[in-house]
Chains A and B, each alone.
Chain A
Amino acid sequence: MNTYPKEYVQHHVPVMAVYGLSEPKVDADLSKNDTQQPSTPDVDPVPVRRRSSTSSNHLRLRATIVHNLRALLTSRENITLWEAAKHTPASGGSYTSGIPNFRVNFVENDFSLPPKKPTSYQQPSMHPHSALSPLSNQSPLHPDGLVTPQWYEKHFNVYPSTVVGFYDLWDWSMEPGSPPRPKKEVGPLAGHSLADPVEKERDAAMAHGINERRKYFQERGLKFAVVVILNPRHADDPAIEDRLSLLRKLSGLESKNSLFVLPISTSTDATDFLNNLFKSLFESAQVYYNNQVKRVRKKLSRLPSPSVAMRQVTPQNIKETQPLSVPGWICRYEYKIGVFQEFGQDIQGSLKSYDVSYNMLLNMLQPNSGDGSMKFGTRRWKEAWTLADCMNIKICRAYLFQDNSQMALAQLNKHLHALQMFCNDWHIGERTFQYWAWLSKQYRIFAEQIDVATRHGFKPPVPLPNQGHSTSPPLNSSPFLGSGGHSSQADGGVNPGELLQHAGFYYHLAAMCSAERRRRYIEIEKMKTSEIKTEDPTYLIAMKILKEEEQIDHSALTIELLTKGYEQFKKHRNSRMTLYLAAEIAGTYYEAGKYDMALKFFERIGKTYRKEHWHTVLTSILRWSLRCAKELNMTASAIGYLIELLCDDLPMSEEKRIELQNDLEATLMEESDGEKENSEEPLVISMDEINSFLNCNVQFEKKSSYVNESIKFQVAITANKQSPPEAIVFQSLRVTFNNGKWNQIYFHNQDDIEKDDKYRYYNCSDSIYSKETNVWEANTDLQFRNSQIKIFEGKINADHTENLKLDSVILEMNSSSRPVHLTFNVANRVQDARSAGRRKWYLPDSPKPTFIDGRGELSSVDITQKPSRLAISTKHQSPALVDEHYPFSIILENQEATAVEAFVRVEIRTAENQDLGDTIKLKATDDDSDACGVLDINVGQIEANSSKEQPMYIIGRAIPMTRILNISVRYKASSSSNQEAYFEKQETAKINYHKPFEIKFQTYEQTKDCSKVAGFPPELKEKERLLVIAAIRCTSPWNLDVDSIEIEQNEQPSHANLHVRAMPKAPEDDKKVWKKDQVVNSNHLFELTIEDRTAPRSSVDFGALKITWRRVGGGHEQTPLCQTSIPFPPLSFSPSEIRIHRAHFAELQAQVEVSEAFVFSGYKQTKFRVLPFSSQKLRYHCHAILAGHVRLPRLKVDVTNSGEVSGTTDAVVYVKPRRQ
């Protein structure tokens, strides 16, 4: 019962017999040819040599194509319904793009069908039945069998629907040793008359042969087709068309799709050819099978109606086997019709016939109400059951093919329900392993069908709720109208039992049945060993096949099915379902005693359930794992599982928990033999990765601390509310740090056991450093009970700076052999600062913690040197003046009781970060070599409680803008070692800058010698004297001691032909103290000389006025003199001379503007003419009438008729008031 005959289950396609396509035996000859004659290129000029070599090439090519064809033809076995029937949709509509398939048999050339039976009407009395008919004596079905797999044999191998013969068209090259054929005439003269007579003769012979075969097969109702193989030479032959048509005519293959031509060439594609051949022949194959259907139907119609037949059957002689009943015949014929329809790919039709046949068969199988022909246990009964199962498979498959998932499932359920009922009557019902084996098989095959269907595009329906109707229920859902089955569609809703799901579910069902089968088997086995005499037929029947059942590895079967289901669910991305199946697989392994495999699966799946907090499931998995581990003697794993099982989150009764705890203690105390080699290595159980019955929380009191200050930390260990149910005592509690120097170990001290208070505080600050173990040791109480919280406070006195981290808290369990460490990896914990509660700090006497700064857990602390107290202040007199040596002092005050060493770094910058060349110096000298922008000063030692002043000078250049001084002081206690880090303190100082002076220059034209200009040739050299008055205003808020005011001449005059000379000046004593806003005039006379007065004039930078000064008072007498250079304005000739630079005569008009300060004599307005390159002097006598700086009257000169206007600039004259 484990397998069904393949013929019953597989999908059928039309059968085709092929002859003439035997693998050629010419290979030996070919190789001989090859060795004798080297292969020659295709364009060989010698035709004789070429002939034989090319023919061997052709033969080889033919051989490969034939080989390919054979391979392709045979490769199409075992195709699925979906692949086969793509060509002919079940609905019978138009052909789709698929390619029909044939089952191909290679037969001999003289293949013939069995001799025809004489038709019944000729000799009705001597009805010769086929050898397989239940009516013939030799048949295996005699007298009451239904169908036998041998019947398929007949239709697979003996009766094809189509016969295809392959023929080679004759050619001279086929004749061994034949002379080269004369080349055929091509052109208008070529014709039949010129055809080779041998060729003609051969063709006629072949046509005759073909015709014989054609007649034979046609007579037997078979489609016959011929494939003519042309060798490459034929392709060039112009007469080939004529030959082929003649062949067609002579052999009588004139009907459509009878003659095919397969030219042998390198471009021949065997697949294409075959597809085309199959497409063309498929229809006639269908016709053949339709005829078979008709033939069987005719037989069927001659049967009496089953109801009549039933009455006729009278149990005349029970002992004799009855011939096949009428329903049996109907069943047989309908089945045959179904098979033939399936051959013809009429899926819809075959489904109907199978259905009729199947229902008939079910009726026959029915134990009580049937016709009694199928008695339980007989061969016929077995055959019928197998046939029913197989038909069920075919019907389900056809429904799936039609995308009718509901009907497919309905058919399966119908079959299962019917057979379940029958089985009960047969005494192989639900209590027997036979039934479950059968059920498992049904589900498995159904799953396979769905799997195949899914791979061919079938989609199981998704029962989405009907959204459209959810808001407005239809009328007929009213309770008064009743709710018939049909209304449910509108309402939305399905019968969950009628929903087809993907294959994984059915594999799972099959696996469940398989597991049940095992249980039933064990039951029967038990009954057998208990030797209870029972007359229960179920038991007796089962006993008969117990031997067979004993051979079966049930667990392997179940696991295989579960694995298949697992893969299906994996394919559908149902990862959690796969976990469930993995759990089932693991359970099956456990049952089978393969504990290692079971454990592997449990371990794999446990993680997800742990992560997603499915504690009930995890509990079950852990319990299973524990059992496996115990079976395998894996103490370490068992301890791990036991510890996790102690956690409150895993639901369990208290008794169970106590049992587990006792188990744990017993396991720990057990002397383990197997793992002795590991006994030194502690067993580490990471409590953060499992559900823990203890929670551990650590806190440092502060985030940062100083060297030599004590750092307090607390380890709070909380037991679960319910667990451990009984006190559990640990050997020691270790607290490890990133610096092993501070590791603490607190031992359990028997004397210290306190009462079972909920809250206990232990001060372990007095731990003593043990030189042997290099840890700090203390004694405490390490007994825990449920709902208890214990606080262990420790203290560390760090002696150097570091970032101290609390790495882990380890509880060591009492064990006899291998130490067991429950480790809380505090350092690896990831904290969510938002959800974490506020930090708690426990006090010795109150279980209520106080809240301290921050959230969550603080497991690291920064230890730094305590900074010495050092005050920084500055001393200076703001504002500073540009260019001066500005004295600036930094005062460092050591407020510590110890001396410190300090280094100062001063950096100057402007507010806008401009680089102005500002510098800082230590000494007020003119030597600028040590001046720089950033100054490092070693201040040296500052004694306790004293201060030190560090003077320096700052020189701000160019622009009076605010300077910022960054002062950073690095210092450390003088006594500390060299490695010790420095403390650093920053300070900034702002310095406002002022300009010491503001200068206004005024330039006055003095005299000009114009006498020689008028001469001829005019004198080109010109001289002018300019008086420059510099009004220097002292803008400094401080009094300035001005040492000198000097002219600083540029080394090179800025213009080539313009010379400037400062006129010697009587020495005067500039040295005096200037007060704020005091203005001092400094007069300077310059003589400008130009060689060529006609040259364009430009101004010249002469130089600068250099004022040498220093501040008065405030210790500035020591500082060097400062120099401020103020450049003179560009000097140029005064423009008071109006010069006509043109080479022609000009008529000018001059006009003097009235001035208040002067009266003048002369023309107020005059016209005059000036010759080219000559000059005209206008002389006015002005008489001053006002004193002071007054402006001379302006003279305006126009060039008449041209609009050019020129005029004298504002010349100012100082008119002294007359002495009274």
Chain B
Amino acid sequence: MSIDINCIAVIGKRNDPLYIKNYSSSHPDLKYHYIAHTAIDVIEERVLNNQKLTDAYLGLLYAMEDLAVYGFMTNTRVKIIIVVAVTDNIIKDADIKAVFIKVHSAYVMHVCNPFHNLDQNFVASKRFANAVDQIGQQNAKATIDV
């Protein structure tokens, strides 16, 4: 089962971008910034309309052209967005959720740093960036066998 991750974005609770990284060569960074920004709408709508939603994983948010956008929102309203290239295959929720959980744990590791100030500008640490990039690049290259 392959997931072709094009972009991983972490968005703060005030809807400000914390970390956005493009792992594809098909589109410019700007496109993913726009996509991540527009995904906030869908996340807000989905959370509002499905109050019973207990899972942080929100599923497929929308598909635009050849890109599918998946969303995840933590309890602290930090949003994680993964943009995947649309192939003709079915993308399993479990697969994509596993990726989300990896990114989430990287984020948690990052904010657990006692010197990290949640109220100030997010500064991605090297370790966080490496962790996320590893997830992104691994999946961007080709496949993970589940």
Chain A interface (Cβ within 8 Å of chain B)?
462-467, 470, 473, 477, 479, 483, 485, 488, 491-497, 499, 501, 505, 508-509, 512, 572-577, 579-580, 583, 609, 612-617, 620, 835
User: Could you give 9 example pairs across A and B, Cβ below 8 Å?
Assistant: A493-B96, A495-B89, A496-B60, A496-B91, A576-B38, A579-B38, A613-B14, A614-B33, A616-B17
A495–B88 CB distance below 8 A: yes
- List B23-64 residues whose CB lies under 8 Å from chain A: 29-30, 33-34, 37-38, 40-42, 45-46, 49-50, 53-55, 57-60, 62-64
Question: B62 to chain A: which residues have CB within 8 Å?
Answer: 501, 505
Partner of B90, one of A464, A485, A579, A609: A485
Inter-chain CA distance A117–B115, complex, in Å, is 93
Partner of A495, one of B20, B91, B145, B146: B91
Task: Tell me the nearest residue of chain A to B45, going by C-beta.
Answer: A573
- List B119-139 residues whose CB lies under 8 Å from chain A: 119
Question: With contacts A494-B91, A617-B30 known, is A574 near B41, CB below 8 A?
Answer: yes
Chain B interface (Cβ within 8 Å of chain A)?
1, 14-17, 20, 29-30, 33-34, 37-38, 40-42, 45-46, 49-50, 53-55, 57-60, 62-65, 68, 84, 86-97, 119, 145-146
Question: With contacts A470-B97, A485-B90 known, is A465 near B58, CB below 8 A?
Answer: yes
Inter-chain CA distance A617–B15, complex, in Å, is 14
Inter-chain CA distance A572–B48, complex, in Å, is 13
A465–B55 CB distance below 8 A: yes
Question: With contacts A497-B63, A509-B65, A617-B33 known, is A488 near B17, CB below 8 A?
Answer: no
Question: With contacts A465-B58, A496-B63 known, is A576 near B40, CB below 8 A?
Answer: yes
Say how far A560's CB is from chain B's closest CB, in angstroms. 19
List 3 A-B pairs, minimum CB-CB distance, nearest first: A496-B68, A492-B93, A465-B59
A614–B16 CB distance below 8 A: yes
Inter-chain CA distance A620–B89, complex, in Å, is 34
Question: B45 to chain A: which residues have CB within 8 Å?
Answer: 572-574
A463–B17 CB distance below 8 A: no
Task: Tell me the nearest residue of chain B to A575, going by C-beta.
Answer: B41
Say how far B7's CB is from chain A's closest CB, in angstroms. 12
Say how far A80's CB is from chain B's closest CB, in angstroms. 26
Inter-chain CA distance A448–B95, complex, in Å, is 35
Inter-chain CA distance A494–B69, complex, in Å, is 12
A505–B64 CB distance below 8 A: yes
B37–A580 CB distance below 8 A: yes
Inter-chain CA distance A1202–B38, complex, in Å, is 107
Inter-chain CA distance A613–B33, complex, in Å, is 11
B38–A574 CB distance below 8 A: yes
B94–A463 CB distance below 8 A: no
Question: A512 to chain B: which residues have CB within 8 Å?
Answer: 65
Question: B63 to chain A: which residues have CB within 8 Å?
Answer: 496-497, 499, 501, 505
Say how far A648's CB is from chain B's closest CB, in angstroms. 11
Say how far A189's CB is from chain B's closest CB, in angstroms. 75
| From B1, B29, B38, residue with most partner A Cβ within 10 Å | B38
Task: Tell me the nearest residue of chain B to A583, going by C-beta.
Answer: B34
B93–A462 CB distance below 8 A: no
Task: Tell me the nearest residue of chain B to A584, going by C-beta.
Answer: B34
Say how far A87's CB is from chain B's closest CB, in angstroms. 32
Question: B33 to chain A: which residues have CB within 8 Å?
Answer: 614, 616-617
B34–A580 CB distance below 8 A: yes
Question: A576 to chain B: which residues have CB within 8 Å?
Answer: 37-38, 40-41
Task: Tell me the nearest residue of chain B to A466, going by C-beta.
Answer: B93
Q: Is the interface of B mostly helix, strand, loop or mixed?
A: mixed
Q: Give 6 A-B pairs besides A462-B49, A464-B58, A614-B16 with Cβ atoms closer than 8 angstroms.
A: A465-B57, A479-B146, A499-B60, A499-B63, A575-B41, A615-B17
Inter-chain CA distance A572–B93, complex, in Å, is 25
Task: Tell me the nearest residue of chain B to A651, going by C-beta.
Answer: B29
| From A465, A488, A577, residue with most partner B Cβ within 10 Å | A465
A496–B86 CB distance below 8 A: yes
A616–B94 CB distance below 8 A: no
Say how far B95's CB is from chain A's closest CB, in angstroms. 8
Question: B17 to chain A: which residues have CB within 8 Å?
Answer: 613-616
Question: B96 to chain A: which residues have CB within 8 Å?
Answer: 493
B38–A577 CB distance below 8 A: yes
| From B50, B53, B90, B146, residue with most partner A Cβ within 10 Å | B90
Question: B64 to chain A: which residues have CB within 8 Å?
Answer: 505, 508
Question: A485 to chain B: which residues have CB within 8 Å?
Answer: 90
Question: With contacts A477-B94, A573-B41, A612-B15 known, is A494 near B119, CB below 8 A?
Answer: no
Question: A501 to chain B: which residues have CB within 8 Å?
Answer: 62-63
Partner of A467, one of B1, B20, B55: B55
Inter-chain CA distance A496–B86, complex, in Å, is 6
Question: B60 to chain A: which residues have CB within 8 Å?
Answer: 463, 494, 496, 499
Question: A508 to chain B: which residues have CB within 8 Å?
Answer: 64
Task: Tell me the nearest residue of chain A to B12, going by C-beta.
Answer: A613
A483–B37 CB distance below 8 A: no
| From A466, A575, A577, residue with most partner B Cβ within 10 Å | A577
Say how far B14's CB is from chain A's closest CB, in angstroms. 7
Question: With contacts A483-B1, A612-B16 known, is A470 near B41, CB below 8 A?
Answer: no
B37–A465 CB distance below 8 A: no
Question: A470 to chain B: which residues have CB within 8 Å?
Answer: 55, 57, 93-94, 97
| From A483, A497, A509, residue with most partner B Cβ within 10 Å | A497
Say how far A83's CB is from chain B's closest CB, in angstroms. 28
Inter-chain CA distance A494–B95, complex, in Å, is 12
Question: With contacts A473-B94, A494-B91, A501-B62 known, is A467 near B40, CB below 8 A?
Answer: no
Question: With contacts A612-B16, A620-B30 known, is A488 near B37, CB below 8 A?
Answer: no
Say how far A644's CB is from chain B's closest CB, in angstroms. 17
Question: With contacts A505-B64, A573-B45 known, is A609 near B119, CB below 8 A?
Answer: no
Task: Tell me the nearest residue of chain B to A473, going by C-beta.
Answer: B94
Task: Tell me the nearest residue of chain B to A617, going by C-beta.
Answer: B33
Question: B49 to chain A: which residues have CB within 8 Å?
Answer: 462
Inter-chain CA distance A463–B1, complex, in Å, is 20
Inter-chain CA distance A951–B97, complex, in Å, is 89
Task: Tell me the nearest residue of chain A to B16, going by C-beta.
Answer: A613
B93–A465 CB distance below 8 A: yes
Question: A509 to chain B: which residues have CB within 8 Å?
Answer: 65
Question: With contacts A462-B46, A465-B55 known, is A495 near B41, CB below 8 A?
Answer: no
Inter-chain CA distance A614–B34, complex, in Å, is 9
Say how far B19's CB is from chain A's closest CB, in angstroms. 12
Partner of A464, one of B38, B50, B91, B95: B50
Say how far A602's CB is from chain B's closest CB, in angstroms. 14
Question: A574 to chain B: which residues have CB within 8 Å?
Answer: 38, 41-42, 45
Inter-chain CA distance A499–B69, complex, in Å, is 12
B93–A835 CB distance below 8 A: no
Task: Tell me the nearest residue of chain B to A501, going by C-beta.
Answer: B62
Inter-chain CA distance A580–B30, complex, in Å, is 11
Question: With contacts A467-B54, A496-B63, A575-B41 known, is A612 near B93, CB below 8 A?
Answer: no
Question: A477 to chain B: which residues have CB within 8 Å?
Answer: 92, 94
Question: A580 to chain B: which residues have CB within 8 Å?
Answer: 34, 37-38
A492–B94 CB distance below 8 A: yes
Inter-chain CA distance A465–B33, complex, in Å, is 24
A617–B34 CB distance below 8 A: yes
Question: A614 to chain B: which residues have CB within 8 Å?
Answer: 16-17, 33, 37
Question: B46 to chain A: which residues have CB within 8 Å?
Answer: 462, 464
| From B17, B30, B59, residue with most partner A Cβ within 10 Å | B59
Inter-chain CA distance A470–B89, complex, in Å, is 20
Inter-chain CA distance A501–B60, complex, in Å, is 11
Question: B53 to chain A: which residues have CB within 8 Å?
Answer: 464, 467
B90–A495 CB distance below 8 A: yes
| From A467, A483, A505, residue with most partner B Cβ within 10 Å | A467
Question: A579 to chain B: which residues have CB within 8 Å?
Answer: 37-38
Question: A609 to chain B: which residues have CB within 8 Å?
Answer: 37
Task: Tell me the nearest residue of chain A to B68, going by C-beta.
Answer: A496
Inter-chain CA distance A620–B16, complex, in Å, is 17
Partner of B29, one of A473, A483, A499, A616: A616
A617–B37 CB distance below 8 A: yes
